[in-house]
Structure 1
């Protein structure tokens, strides 16, 4: 517990000033976090990142992460992110032939889906920050409230298992308690922050985001259970890896963008 607290304090001291400042430092931080997250996923599959396919996967990730305000650089070259991404995917598939199936089609598929999963989530981390600091803090507090509510209410009243094959400690009561706690956050932000939505609208959105945030957590649990690992990584002592900390955000932020709050 002591190690977990120390790591949390240090991470917050490093992370929060960059979040407040935004701009290029935040973009670079997001690139770093996403690259580590991809490394963690590939490592679970025993796919090295310091390889040809690892280089191509990181390159594809960085293309996906390129913020909208920087895409003009590609447009001047008469290319789009999709076109460059297609070329990289074709190169990954070609690499299966070059290696005579030592790097298999299955591995290529896993790599591409991993890049999309991590890349889209962290891309919208950048876009959400560009929309306004309030949306980042709303997302973080909503997820923290969901997680805390699910843990404490589940521990106090939980009887029915939510998804024992994936995460045996989670309960239906805890999950519902997490949604209720997230609604409290929605009400507070709706009343006291400029969220460009009525309180009722924000509450409805929050219910959906809270549910999908919990699904993001379960997806990460499913990965770890399938690959028989305790944590996605060890970059954050006491907390695990980057994906252990950002699993819910990777689901919440793309959906938040779809609600057009900004």
Structure 2
């Protein structure tokens, strides 16, 4: 626990500082974190980063990650979606060129992984650059961390009913409920100081969506690690594992709240 706290402080201070600063320092941090997270997933799949498959995977992810004002495509007379589809076709062509050393399953993995990482960090950036983006982003961060803490302590104290033992044997229904409850307690306290939403109904729905999506994001990464028989996605953060271990809930939440129309 002591090591987790020390790592959280050492990593958290620059993360929050660059998020507050915004602009290019923030964008560079997002690109770096997304690239490391992509590398962690490639290692799970045992794909070399500098292989043709790995390179295409990074290109797909960066394409979805970077906003249009950073990565303009007007001079190519095309858009990001068309380029993404072109690279998807290239992946399928590689299954033929490599004589199935790159399988159809591998190609599917790269596409899903690039969407998972690329859009997750993209909408984190998208939210930061909204008019009230910083306040909203801190609200999301607080809700995700509150949910994690509430689920952990409620699960330790009251957990009896397994939530999804085939995926994450330590998670319980009581822990999940505790995470949602603490998210509401901390979230409402935050809103009394920083009124992010004009409607309390919208705020209550937002808190619920973030808390539930955050826990689902954690389960998604647990399912990935169990499938590939790894304990942690990486070792860059002592006591926490990899970047994906630390940010799995967050990068799952951001596209969800975008699709639900909250941002």
Point out where structure 1 has 5 or more consecutive residues left out of the alignment: none
Alignment of 1:91-102 (within 5 A): 91-102=90-101
Partner Cα separation in structure 2 for residue 179 and residue 236 of structure 1 = 26
Alignment of 1:158-173 (within 5 A): 158-173=159-174
Indicate the residue corresponding to 2:64 in structure 1. Answer: 64
Contact 2:34 2:118 in 1 (8 A): yes
Partner Cα separation in structure 2 for residue 152 and residue 177 of structure 1 = 8
Q: 113-122 vs 196-205, which deviates more?
A: 196-205
Indicate the residue corresponding to 2:237 in structure 1. Answer: 236
User: Per the alignment, in what secondary structure is the counterpart of residue 69 of structure 1?
Assistant: coil
Partner Cα separation in structure 1 for residue 33 and residue 118 of structure 2 = 10
- Measured against aligned partners, the alpha-carbon deviations of 1:146-168 in whole angstroms (never above 9, x if no partner) come to 11111111111111111111111
- Measured against aligned partners, the alpha-carbon deviations of 1:155-196 in whole angstroms (never above 9, x if no partner) come to 111111111111111111110111011111331233221313
Indicate the residue corresponding to 1:222 in structure 2. Answer: 223
Partner Cα separation in structure 2 for residue 15 and residue 225 of structure 1 = 28
Structure 2 residue 32 is the aligned partner of structure 1 residue 7: no
Partner Cα separation in structure 1 for residue 250 and residue 90 of structure 2 = 30
User: Per the alignment, in what secondary structure is the counterpart of residue 232 of structure 2?
Assistant: coil
Q: CA deviation at 1:200?
A: 2.7
| Distance change (3 Å), C-alpha of 1:226 and 1:261 | closer
Point out where structure 2 has 5 or more consecutive residues left out of the alignment: none
User: Per the alignment, in what secondary structure is the counterpart of residue 170 of structure 1?
Assistant: strand
RMSD: 1.4
Partner Cα separation in structure 2 for residue 257 and residue 137 of structure 1 = 16
Q: CA deviation at 1:32?
A: 0.9
| Distance change (3 Å), C-alpha of 1:112 and 1:259 | closer
Q: How many residue pairs were aligned?
A: 261
Partner Cα separation in structure 2 for residue 256 and residue 68 of structure 1 = 20
Indicate the residue corresponding to 1:130 in structure 2. Answer: 129
| Distance change (3 Å), C-alpha of 1:189 and 1:260 | farther
Q: CA deviation at 1:259?
A: 4.2
Q: CA deviation at 1:6?
A: 2.5
User: Per the alignment, in what secondary structure is the counterpart of residue 120 of structure 1?
Assistant: helix
Indicate the residue corresponding to 1:149 in structure 2. Answer: 150
Indicate the residue corresponding to 2:31 in structure 1. Answer: 31
Contact 1:146 1:182 in 2 (8 A): yes
User: Per the alignment, in what secondary structure is the counterpart of residue 102 of structure 1?
Assistant: coil
User: Per the alignment, in what secondary structure is the counterpart of residue 129 of structure 2?
Assistant: helix
Q: CA deviation at 1:261?
A: 4.2
Partner Cα separation in structure 1 for residue 198 and residue 46 of structure 2 = 45
- Measured against aligned partners, the alpha-carbon deviations of 1:192-239 in whole angstroms (never above 9, x if no partner) come to 213133223211221122111101001111111111111001111111
